[in-house]
Amino acid sequence: MSFRMLHWVHKIGNYSKSKQFYEKELNMVEQRHESFDAGCEAACNGRYNLSWTKTMIGYGPEDLHFVLELTANHGIKSYKLGNDFREIVIHHDKAAESKQTIVDPNGYTYVLVNRERDLEESERNSFEHDQVQYISLHTKNLEKQIQFYTQVLGMQVFKRGENRALLGFAQDQAKIEFVQLSESEELIHGEAFGRLAISSKVDIKEMHQKVLKAKEEEVFVSTGISIVKEPIVLPTPGKADVEVVIISDCDGYEICLAEETGFLALALGK
């Protein structure tokens, strides 16, 4: 595959309390942890020009599993939530008897399911060692989001309903669901807005040009498609550099497209 879903970024307040939740309640395992003295050049930690940390946590190594990036800005104890993020669906032993919904200390919702009982085959992540099934987000324009993710990013539609669609790159990866808001509802990203990361075998500069071209297409006029950050090489102290471009989709959700070779070197500590 040319692309792979990597992780979703959550901004968190109380780091120790949050990490304890993910380890004890969701049984996730820390994959790597990094500290930075100043804000990220690609706004990985949001609009804050502060020292910060990121912790990658999940059910296995990042080269195979979809994980979460827990971003903590020093001195920021909480973030105002919007209505953009809905939930993350996870296959979990706690749902052996029935589906469960739990909320982390920051207000992020998780739905724990039995993948075989509660999900249709099209909804499942067929890589059984990865318990994350899909992320669910709200959208103001379902049709345009489907067009953007399929035509520009190369995803396919795995399931389609009247007001929702599940998209992804492959059956054996985590996926992303968009659920249509009503006409009267505004899409609010809030201070806690997340970011999706995707690895790319396609040259980052080529993807940059592809997004710029899409932005000019009639179908995407008056949408949130933009280049948030031009292609840039991001350093991590003592670890591999990664070339990325930060884009936004029709609803203004940020997506970090990361060059695959550099990302894998960083993730695996090479």
245 has which bridge partners? Answer: 257
Query: 125: which residues sit within 8 A by CB, 6+ positions away?
Result: 66, 91, 115, 131, 132, 133, 134, 171, 172, 173, 174, 175
Average pLDDT, the chain: 96
Kindly report the CATH number assigned to the domain that includes residue 185: 3.10.180.10
User: Would you place residue 1 in the very low, low, confident or very high pLDDT band (cuts 50, 70, 90)?
Assistant: confident
26, pLDDT greater than 80: yes
How far lies 231's CA from each of 227, 246, 257, in Å?
Answer: 9, 7, 9
DSSP 3-state of 191: coil
Report the pLDDT averaged over residues 21-45: 95
Q: Which pLDDT value is given to residue 101?
A: 98
119, pLDDT greater than 90: yes
For residue 229, report the phi and psi dihedrals to the nearest 5 degrees: -145, 125
- Of residues 195 and 47, more confidence is placed in 195
- Both structure tokens of 189: 């990203």
199, pLDDT greater than 90: yes
194 vs 255: CA distance, rounded Å:
9
Q: Which pLDDT value is given to residue 125?
A: 98
Domain that holds residue 40: 3-267
How far lies 236's CA from each of 62, 250, 266, in Å?
Answer: 16, 30, 8
Report the pLDDT averaged over residues 226-242: 94
Q: What is the pLDDT of residues 127-163, one digit of tens each?
A: 999 999 999 999 999 999 999 999 999 999 999 999 9
The total number of structural domains that make up the chain? 1
Q: Is the pTM of this model over 0.85?
A: yes
User: Would you place residue 107 in the very low, low, confident or very high pLDDT band (cuts 50, 70, 90)?
Assistant: very high
Q: How far apart are the first and last CA of the chain?
A: 22
Report the pLDDT averaged over residues 231-239: 92
Q: What is the pLDDT of residues 172-182, one digit of tens each?
A: 999 999 999 99
147 vs 117: CA distance, rounded Å:
31
Q: Which pLDDT value is given to residue 269?
A: 83
User: Would you place residue 260 in the very low, low, confident or very high pLDDT band (cuts 50, 70, 90)?
Assistant: very high
User: Would you place residue 270 in the very low, low, confident or very high pLDDT band (cuts 50, 70, 90)?
Assistant: low
